[in-house]
């Protein structure tokens, strides 16, 4: 760590400086809206929530005692699908005027100390698209590609689902007794449509005695089947 550079956990008194750093990062990023909001008040609330949540960590880098960089991270795990603990680095930023002074390196040193204290065996970082400088910085420090992320707004996904399925997405939200009754009724109608009707065979005007006997037997069998068949309400399947 170079002279004049210091990294420590953020303090309540650092909040305004942290908000200013986040806004500076947003203005610089090509897709700043994906980084953070441009509302300072909301940023205060969000940073406060990160500091308050279990595992939330905010590091501030000082250059000559002035805040010039930050690192936002969360300790993740263990969870339902893994026993491992990791440190998820959500953002690293250094003011342009303070770069090439070792602040980014110092922030990562601080992050490794946080990871060690938490028992995290791995560290993740997801730089924003187009952040080539950060990509190169992390690659130089040994961060390797692990996964890719895709993002969509909720409204856009709802429109897409509705368009592709002809409004079926909206019907999924139906619930409660009425929706269940409709489902049962539709299934009964579908079974009735598939089931062939059993009609009594017509007896030809000029038929032999054997033909008439077969027709009588057929009618009796049909009636027996009809009387012994369970009602549709007792044969509902799911």
Q: What residues pair up with 127 in beta bridges, in sequence order?
A: none
Going along the chain from its start, the domains and CATH numbers come out as: 5-151 (3.40.630.30), 156-226 (no CATH)
SS3 140: helix
Decide: residue 16, CB within 10 A, 0-12 exposed, 13-18 middle, 19+ buried.
exposed
Determine the pLDDT at residue 163: 81
Least confident of 97-106, 180-189, 191-200: 191-200
H-run or E-run covering 6: strand 5-9
Higher pLDDT: 187 or 16? It is: 16
Higher pLDDT: 114 or 151? It is: 114
Q: What residues pair up with 55 in beta bridges, in sequence order?
A: none
Cut 0.75: pTM above it? no
How far apart CA 56 and CA 49 sit, in angstroms, is 8
Backbone dihedral angles phi then psi of residue 156, each to the nearest 5 degrees: -65, -40
């Amino acid at each position: 760590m170079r002279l004049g550079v210091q990294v420590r956990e953020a303090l309540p008194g650092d909040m305004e400086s942290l908000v200013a750093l986040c806004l500076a990062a947003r203005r610089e990023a090509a897709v700043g809206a994906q980084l953070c909001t441009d509302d300072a008040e909301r940023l205060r609330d969000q940073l406060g929530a990160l500091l308050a949540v279990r595992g939330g960590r905010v590091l501030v880098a000082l250059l000559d005692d002035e805040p010039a960089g930050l690192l936002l991270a969360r300790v993740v795990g263990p969870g339902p699908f893994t026993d491992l603990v990791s440190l998820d680095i959500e953002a690293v930023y250094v003011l342009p005027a303070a770069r090439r002074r070792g602040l980014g390196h110092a922030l990562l040193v601080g992050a490794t100390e946080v990871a060690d204290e938490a028992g995290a065996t791995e560290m993740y970082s997801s730089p924003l698209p187009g952040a080539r400088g950060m990509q190169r910085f992390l690659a130089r420090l040994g961060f390797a590609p692990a996964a890719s992320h895709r993002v969509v707004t909720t409204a856009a996904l709802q429109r897409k689902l509705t368009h592709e399925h002809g409004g079926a997405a909206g019907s999924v939200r139906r619930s409660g007794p009425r929706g269940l009754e409709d489902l049962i009724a539709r299934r009964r109608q579908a079974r009735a449509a598939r089931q062939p009707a059993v009609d009594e065979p017509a007896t030809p005007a000029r038929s032999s005695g054997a033909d008439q006997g077969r027709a009588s037997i057929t009618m009796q069998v049909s009636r027996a089947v009809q009387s012994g068949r369970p009602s549709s309400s007792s044969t509902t399947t799911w």
